[in-house]
Amino acid sequence: MSELAEQRMAQMETALKAAFQPIEFEVVDDGHRHVGHAGARDGRGHFIVRMVSARFTGMPPLARHRAVYAALGEMMETDIHALSLKLDAPAA
């Protein structure tokens, strides 16, 4: 994993933990699966985020995704090309 990917992942972790206070959290660099992909040429990364947060309780999947995109803000346009999300509320 590149130093740039590590920096991006740390920035994502900081932003998402602040916004969602997750009880489970994981961010993974998925860039190795996209080498040579047209979207990888612009230098932005491919990532997977898995998160469980009480904040997602009662939110439909699309609203959860939009909330994550909002929390990541400008990174979605400058640092992230592709983002795979697995977002859950805690089990009751």
Q: Which CATH number characterizes residue 9's domain? A: 3.30.300.90
What pLDDT was estimated at residue 42?
A: 58
Q: What's the rounded mean pLDDT across residues 65-91?
A: 94
What pLDDT was estimated at residue 36?
A: 58
Q: What's the rounded mean pLDDT across residues 56-66?
A: 97
Dig out the tokens for 25 from the structure. 């959290």
- Bridge partner residues of 25 (DSSP): 51
37-48 pLDDT, tens digit per residue, is: 555 555 678 899
The domain tally of the chain equals 1
4-59 pLDDT, tens digit per residue, is: 889 999 999 999 999 999 999 999 998 765 555 555 555 678 899 999 999 999 99
The whole domain housing 38 covers 3-88
Dig out the tokens for 15 from the structure. 């932003």
